[in-house]
């Protein structure tokens, strides 16, 4: 059983623990969105992908008893939605933001429709690694309990940076995102590269959903996502299309989720709605101070947001 109260030390501890527990969905979705946007398209529909991932992971884990199979299914289900988005958003006269919002509705609709039977049963959860096993303090022990899936996400971030910088495929994605015309002239299929990027990005977002339902908070419910999928788009811009910075931004957002409850637990109980909105306010402020009309943001894909050719 829990021992002594932590008092004010509980606040930083809760934020650290909240960061380790709650950032992974942001991380996976923002990495997925980063890959998508690097290829020159936006996918707002990742909110729906996240929900679809959460539902399918939970269902498969429940039905087969294997949470890891659930994670893979979530990715594949995400890819299915990514296929629709990637194909449709590249049709002439079709705007990717519009497709994204339609995909939020469609994806969440499918997830809710097929997820009904899985709200109540308990599915096997993903294991965790106890980095705090040495500690005498149960609070610290619990705070340092980390999901391997989160570590995987942390590993993907630098890998994706390397992918963009040093691999042929990464160069292709960047070329297509920066100047599709030049890429086309080089004989690259812009359509295919973007389709694959969007699908791979959606795979990651689906895995992010699996983290929600199979690790933290570890349930499937229709309100499981608190807008992580939508926020991913903001996160990526916040992170300047740099996967490594996506990691930092996700940690920030994950930790921010813990601020409101942590402050209330030590007796600061006014303004909690505003504390809960702190990540959004912070992001906006940072964007206001770091953007400038005189230069384009470094790392921004040139073709991003341009209408279809």
Partner 1 sequence: MTDSLRRSLANLYIPLGSLLAALIIFGGFCALAGANPFGVYHSIYRAAFGSWSSFQNTLTQASPLMLSSLCTALPARLGLVIIGNEGAIVMGGLAAVVSGLALSDWGAASPVVQIGMALAAMGLGGLWIALVGALRHYRAVNETISSLLLNYIAIALLNHLINGPLKDPSSLNNPATYPIPAVHMLGNLPGSRVHYGLIFGLVACGIAYFLIQRTTFGFAARTTGGNLRAAKIAGLPVGQLTLIICFLGGACAGLAGMVEVAAIHGRANAALNAGYGYSGVLVAFIARQNPIAATVVALLLGGILASGGILQRAHSLPDATVLVFQGIVFLSVLYGDSLQGRLSGLMQRFRRQPVPPPAPIGPLV
Partner 2 sequence: MATPALSVTRRQVLRGLLATSAFGLTVKLGGCGDSPIADDGTDTLTAGFVYVGPRDDYGYNQAHAQGRDGLADVPNLSAFDEANVPETQAVQETMRSMIDLDGASVIFATSFGYFEPHVLSLAEEFPDVQFFHCGGLYEEGVHPDNVGSYFGYIDEAQYIAGIVAAHTSETKRLGFIGAIPIPQVLRNINSFTLGARSVDPSVTTQVIFTGDWAAPVREAEAANSMIDQGVDVLTCHVDSPRVVIETAERRGVFSSGYHASQAELAPNGYLTGAEWDWTSVYRNYITWLQEGKTLMNGGIPHLVRGGLGDGFVKLSDYGSAVSDTAKQEAEDAKAGLLSGDLVIYAGEIQDNRGNTVVAQNEALGQTAIELEQMDWLIEGVSGSVS
Whether residue 232 contacts residue 78, with contact meaning beta carbons closer than 8 Å, is answered with no
Should residue 139 be labelled a site residue for partner 2 when binding is judged by CB under 8 A? yes
Q: Minimal distance in Å, beta carbon 230 to partner 2?
A: 15
Of 43 and 139, the one with the shorter C-beta distance to partner 1 is 43
Should residue 278 be labelled a site residue for partner 2 when binding is judged by CB under 8 A? no
State how far the Cα of 10 lies from the Cα of 73, in Å rounded to an integer.
37
Task: Calculate the CA 112 to chain-centre distance.
Answer: 20
Rounded to 5 degrees, what are φ and ψ at 45? -70, 0
Task: Count Cα neighbours of 167 within 13 Å in the Cβ-side half-sphere.
Answer: 9
State how far the Cα of 60 lies from the Cα of 119, in Å rounded to an integer.
13
Per-residue binding string, partner 2, 75-114, x by CB under 8 A, is -------------------------------------x--
Query: Alpha carbon of 158 to those of 147, 154, 161, 164, 284: distances in Å?
Result: 18, 8, 5, 10, 26
Q: Which does 71 bind (CB under 5 to 8 A by kind): partner 1, partner 2, none?
A: none
* Contacts (CB under 8 A) with partner 2, residues 14-53: 14, 17-18, 21-22
State how far the Cα of 28 lies from the Cα of 218, in Å rounded to an integer.
16
Should residue 192 be labelled a site residue for partner 2 when binding is judged by CB under 8 A? no
**DSSP state at residue 73:** H
Among residues 66, 48, 68, the alpha carbon closest in space to that of 111 is found at: 48
Show the CA angle centred on residue 205, arms to residues 277 and 211, nearest 5°. 75
Q: Minimal distance in Å, beta carbon 272 to partner 2?
A: 6
Q: Minimal distance in Å, beta carbon 248 to partner 2?
A: 20
Q: Which two tokens stand for residue 108?
A: 């969440």
Q: Which does 23 bind (CB under 5 to 8 A by kind): partner 2, partner 1, none?
A: none
- Interface residues toward partner 1, by CB under 8 A: 42, 84, 88, 91-95, 97-99, 101-113, 116, 222, 227, 230-231, 233-234, 237, 270-271, 273-274, 276-277, 280-281, 283-284, 287-288, 291-293, 296-297, 300, 304-309
Count other C-beta atoms under 10 Å from residue 304's C-beta: 18
Contacting residue, 135, 179, 221, 278, with partner 2 by CB under 8 A: 221
Count other C-beta atoms under 10 Å from residue 7's C-beta: 10
Instruction: Name the 3-class secondary structure at 129.
Output: strand
Of 139 and 225, the one with the shorter C-beta distance to partner 1 is 225
State how far the Cα of 262 lies from the Cα of 257, in Å rounded to an integer.
9
Should residue 218 be labelled a site residue for partner 2 when binding is judged by CB under 8 A? yes
Count other C-beta atoms under 10 Å from residue 208's C-beta: 33
Contacting residue, 59, 157, 224, 232, with partner 2 by CB under 8 A: 224
Of 81 and 219, the one with the shorter C-beta distance to partner 2 is 219
Of 128 and 276, the one with the shorter C-beta distance to partner 1 is 276
Q: Minimal distance in Å, beta carbon 139 to partner 1?
A: 29
Of 5-13, 30-38, 78-86, 181-189, the segment contacting partner 2 by CB under 8 A is 5-13
Residue ranges that bind partner 2, judged by CB under 8 A? 1-7, 10, 13-14, 17-18, 21-22, 112, 116, 119-120, 122, 138-139, 142-143, 212, 216-219, 221-224, 226, 257-258, 260-262, 264-267, 269-270, 272-273, 276
């Amino acid at each position: 059983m829990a021992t002594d109260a932590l008092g004010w030390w509980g606040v930083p501890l809760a934020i650290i623990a909240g960061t380790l527990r709650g950032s992974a969905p942001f991380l996976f979705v923002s990495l997925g969105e980063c890959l998508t946007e690097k290829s020159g398209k936006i996918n707002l529909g990742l909110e729906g992908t996240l929900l679809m991932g959460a539902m399918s992971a939970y269902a498969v884990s429940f039905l087969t008893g294997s949470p890891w199979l659930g994670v893979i299914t979530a990715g594949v289900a995400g890819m299915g939605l990514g296929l629709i988005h990637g194909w449709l958003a590249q049709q002439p006269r079709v705007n990717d933001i519009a497709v994204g919002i339609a995909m939020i509705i469609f994806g969440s609709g499918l997830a809710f429709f097929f997820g009904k039977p899985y709200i109540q049963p308990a599915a096997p959860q993903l294991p965790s690694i106890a980095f705090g096993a040495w500690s005498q303090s149960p609070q610290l022990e619990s705070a340092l309990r980390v999901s391997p899936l989160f570590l995987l996400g942390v590993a993907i971030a630098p890998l994706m940076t390397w992918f963009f910088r040093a691999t042929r495929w990464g160069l292709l994605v960047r070329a297509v995102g920066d100047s599709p015309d030049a890429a086309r002239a080089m004989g690259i299929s812009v359509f295919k590269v973007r389709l694959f990027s969007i699908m791979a990005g959606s795979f990651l977002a689906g895995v992010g959903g699996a983290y929600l339902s199979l690790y933290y908070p570890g349930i499937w419910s229709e309100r499981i996502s608190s807008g992580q999928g939508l926020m991913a788009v903001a996160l990526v811009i916040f992170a300047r299309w740099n996967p490594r910075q996506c990691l930092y931004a996700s940690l920030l957002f994950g930790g921010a989720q813990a601020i409101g409850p942590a402050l209330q637990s030590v007796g600061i109980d006014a303004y909690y709605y505003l504390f809960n909105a702190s990540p959004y306010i912070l992001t906006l402020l940072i964007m206001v101070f770091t953007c400038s009309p005189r230069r384009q943001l470094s790392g921004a894909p040139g073709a991003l947001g341009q209408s279809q050719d």
